[in-house]
Structure 1
Amino acid sequence: MSTERPRIVIAGGGLAGLSLSLALKQALGDAIEVAMCDPALKRDPHGDKRAYAIAASARRMLETLHIWDAVADKAQPIRDMVITDSRLQDPVRPTFLTFAGEVEEGEPFAHMVAGGDLTAALVESCRNAGVALMPTSVETFSAHPGGIDVVTNGGGITLRACLLVAADGARSRLREQAGISWISWPYRQSAIVATILHARDHEGRAVEHFLPAGPFAILPLKPETLPDGRIQHRSSIVWTERSEEVPHLLDAHTEDLLDELERRFGLQLGELSFETKPQAFPLSFGVARRFTAERLALLGDAAHVIHPIAGQGLNLGLHDAAALAEIVVEALRLGRDPGSADVLDDYERARRADITAMGLMTDGLNRLFSNDALPVRLVRDLGLGLVDRMPGLKKFFIREAAGLAGGTAPRLLRGEAL
């Protein structure tokens, strides 16, 4: 390697890219330059009103990066989870499976966190750590044996680096420029996402109703105290619906949309209203045939997109960041080139099996539970009931959801510094 200080450029300022930037700078300090390029860095980071499920392993990573303290008082632990399976018109929605919410005593398997709060904390920590935050996009790049030349859009600045990380989303232009093919298919479903206000306390319970059109998830959010002292109870919903029905729903009068929401949400939490305007996102499956190219690594949605049925999309991206950070840090400490083919092969091997398994699982679950055929419903409900009576299997599933089951997780996900 050159005696010059190595530079890594990260294209895309989402949560996975920010976490990778911070992990690298905290581990290596002035021994490395990290530049993050994203036009969204011009905007207020609190603008993301979506809520995310942060698994226990990802929370351990954020604690190790000294981020969790900044969001902990706004994070809602998921204390238990209830799963039902029914048709929309069924008068009773029976519970087939329940999960306790702890992977270890006192450690919830997941927390719900506002995306804006987490983004703001990561941006501030990256700035303080010395990450170069550049509010511009990467236009193109040219890899060569000695490094990679990265050309930005604003002003045509060229950054010479040893590695470019493409964290620019599911429609990654950098992935296309690298010639990495994308395997994908649409689900003909869309996810309607919103924050809901309700009259009664959710008590930290997450609920997933499996309905013929797709899963309807109710995810607890931290209550807010109003100026007059009243408590405002809140939940996030991920309402999966057939794509052809979504325009009609979103164009409906608010009262009509609330009626449809109530049919799925139920009456257990009292009167409902919208805190945020519902937004719809088309759902699909996608995975890159390779996660690396010459001096380039894919991260997060640029590498994989899965169905939200298990709430693991962001957690997979944070797992990517933890794995890549560990591999790059170890390579630099050993004097290896972090953009070399053998180092990037380590990243490919570290992530391929996990991503493939999670993609197949979420795809299979969605196809299974969106099928309204009576024999299929009977078999799956029998299966849910059997799992509910097997504590050992339930514990395995909850650890899987927490990102703590099987294999050796990257050190950051185990709560260990690099």
Structure 2
Amino acid sequence: MDNPARAPILKVMEIDSDLIIVGGGLNGPALALAAAQGGLSSTVIDALPVGDRKARGFDGRSYALALTSQRLLSAIGLWDGLADNAQPMLEIKVTDGRAGEGPSPFFLHFDHAEIEEGPMGYLVEDRYLRRAFLDAMEAEPLITLRHQERVVAQDTSDGASVTLASGEVLKGRVLIGSDGRRSGTAERAKIKRTGWGYGQTALVCAIEHEKPHGGIAHQFFMPSGPLAILPLTGNRSSIVWSETEDNAKRINALEDADYLNALRPAFGDFLGEIKLAGTRFTYPLNLTIANSFIGARLALIGDAAHGVHPIAGQGLNAGLRDVAALAEVMIMAVRRGEDIASPLVLERYQQWRRFDTATLAMATDTFNRLFSNDIPILRMGRDLGMGLINSVPSLRRNFMREAAGLTGDLPKLMTGRAL
């Protein structure tokens, strides 16, 4: 019989939570809520004050949620509180042309009635999403929120720990970087990035218009960049207007009335009179992909892992796929008795998401380069291509299912099933 006095003493690491999530935007909170379904605790570190996150005023920002993203929000308990403020996307119309000249006769028209699942997606304002996430996190005992905190150092050599600007150290099992395209988490882990700029800037705002939009989203490709007109609740639409950097700088410097006058030639008059609603924003457009989505006891999600052109409105949707995949991988690991931070477990997440992300990045990059020019032979080719796709129902349905996020190897949460 062994002598109890000689038995080895196991050192148990004290942790604040299983996951230390850096970034309190949308993807980080979504992961915390998803992970809680499997009993995993999270500390979410947000650089912004809680008052900014809870602001009720409409600032013009909104998101196009694919059908599968809506299903994820339902699976983690948020959708019932969002549904009344969500605008279903019933149709998508894609056209090509020049501002002031009207669209080409060749176009793409996607109607949700051609697929069985329902609307291809929903438009939800940022203010409603933010509050829904905050309320859900505050009600979840497995989640700790740390607002107005900044991470200045991290260590994943023995567990995962971060040092805050105040000097406080938080410890966990896995460090999650959900801190945007300039991710400090990735940089401190020495994860390099691949990418390039597009020489374009997105002018983002919301407008009120005289006529109803009918739940139709429009994408108008112009030589300087695409214009997306996305339906919000009521007679309002979200605008994502890509322009060359110089043009965008000039337009953004204009007073509101002149800004609208610059928009009208591209926007047209199909929705009647228009006026600005909320705040105007600008975002430089680039492609940036982390060379690895994982490190030692570390994983990147959302824009920290991949930032793509907004041409297809898939940025948040891709991030939520990361959330669904990582949460499923970690929860399944716990149920098998594995260490959620082991290289084998984290590699499963990377393998699941890497190809899909690379495909999305290549597709958005190609589309932007193909359409953001005025070369006659390319214009003819892309217009004929859109006309061909539009005339073949099976091709059209494939594109609709892609837009709805229904293709590929879907994590459970993206099908609406809880973990």
TM-score where L is the length of structure 2 = 0.93
The AA in structure 1 aligned to 2:144 is A
Deviation at 1:66, TM superposition (A): 1.1
User: Is the CA contact 1:83–1:95 (under 8 Å) kept in the aligned structure 2?
Assistant: no
Matched, 1:205 2:216: yes
Q: 1:168 to 1:368 in 2, by over 3 A?
A: same
Q: Are 1:63 and 2:65 an aligned pair?
A: no
RMSD: 1.7
Question: How far apart are the structure 2 equivalents of 1:349 and 1:97?
Answer: 33
Report how far residue 15 of structure 1 moved: 0.8
Alignment-derived partner of residue 293 in structure 2: 291
1:180 aligns with 2:191: yes
* % same residue: 39
**Where do residues 15-54 of structure 1 align in structure 2 (5 Å cutoff)?**
15-28=26-39, 32-47=40-55, 49-54=60-65
Asked if 1:189 is matched to 2:200, the reply is: yes
Q: 2:155 — aligned with what?
A: 142
Contact 1:102–1:109 (8 Å) recurs in 2: no
AA aligned to 1:319 is R
| Counterpart contact for 2:60–2:277, Cα < 8 Å | no
d(CA) in 1 for partners of 2:229 and 2:401? Answer: 20
Measure the CA separation in 2 of the matches of 1:41 and 1:404: 36
Could you list the per-position Cα deviations for residues 155-199 of structure 1 after superposition, in whole angstroms to 9, with x for gaps in the alignment?
322122110001111111111110100111000000000000100
User: d(CA) in 1 for partners of 2:32 and 2:117?
Assistant: 30
Shift in Å, 1:3: 8.8
1:132 equivalent in alignment to 2:125: no
The match for 2:123 is 112
1:413 matched to 2:378? The reply is no
Q: Distance in 2 between matches of 1:17 and 1:120?
A: 14
1:357-396 aligned at under 5 Å gives the runs 357-396=359-398
Which deviates further from its counterpart, 254-263 or 344-353?
254-263
- Paired amino acid for 1:149: S
Partner of 1:226: none
Q: Matches of 2:349 and 2:374 in 1, distance apart?
A: 40
User: Which residue identity lines up with residue 39 of structure 1 in the other structure?
Assistant: A
Equivalent position of 1:267 in the other structure: 269
- Would you say the 8 A contact 2:210–2:271 is kept in 1? yes
Q: Check the 8 A contact 1:149/1:160 in 2, yes or no.
A: yes
Alignment partner of 1:171: what SS?
Answer: coil
Mark the runs of 5 or more structure 2 residues left unpaired by the alignment: 1-9
One-letter amino acid of the counterpart of residue 73, structure 2: L
Determine helix, strand or coil for the equivalent of 2:99: coil
Amino acid at match of 1:15: L
Counterpart CA distance in 2 for 1:124 and 1:82 is 36
Q: Secondary structure of the residue that 1:122 maps to in structure 2?
A: helix
Summarize the Cα distance change of 1:41–1:332 in structure 2 as closer, same or farther, 3 Å threshold.
farther
- Residue 3 of structure 2 is matched in structure 1 by none
Q: Distance in 1 between matches of 2:415 and 2:228?
A: 28
Letter in 2 for 1:152: L
Deviations 1:185-239 (A, max 9, x none): 000000000000100000111111110001101000001xxxxxxxxx1000100
Q: Secondary structure at the residue paired with 1:321?
A: helix
Paired residue type of 1:143: T
What SS does the aligned partner of 1:186 have?
A: strand
Q: Hey, what's the Cα distance between the residues in 1 that align with 2:73 and 2:24?
A: 16
1:49 and 1:335 map into 2 onto residues whose CA distance is: 46
Which of 331, 335, 338 is residue 336 of structure 1 equivalent to? 338
1:381 Cα deviation after fit: 0.5
CA contact (8 A) 1:35 1:134 kept: yes
- Per the alignment, residue 22 of structure 2 pairs with 11
Q: What corresponds to 1:218 in structure 2?
A: 229
Amino acid at match of 2:121: A
Alignment: residue pair count: 403
Deviations 1:269-317 (A, max 9, x none): 1001001232111100000000011111111111110000000000000
CA distance in 1, matches of 2:250, 2:175: 42
The structural deviation recorded for 1:46 is 4.3
Query: 2:271 is paired with a residue of what secondary structure?
Result: coil
Q: Provide Cα deviations, 1:306-333, integer angstroms capped at 9, x if missing partner.
A: 0000000000000000011001111112
What letter corresponds to residue 324 of structure 1 in structure 2? L
- Structure 1 window deviating more from structure 2 (242-251 vs 162-171): it is 242-251
Q: How far apart in 2 are the matches of 1:91 and 1:7?
A: 55
Are the counterparts in 1 of residues 115 and 401 from structure 2 also a CA contact under 8 Å?
no
Whole-angstrom CA distance in 1 between matches of 2:54 and 2:364: 30
CA contact (8 A) 2:98 2:266 kept: no
Q: 1:103 to 1:351 in 2, by over 3 A?
A: farther
Aligned CA distance change for structure 1 residues 301 and 373 (closer, same or farther; 3 Å): same
| Residue in structure 1 matching 2:318, options 316, 320, 323 | 316
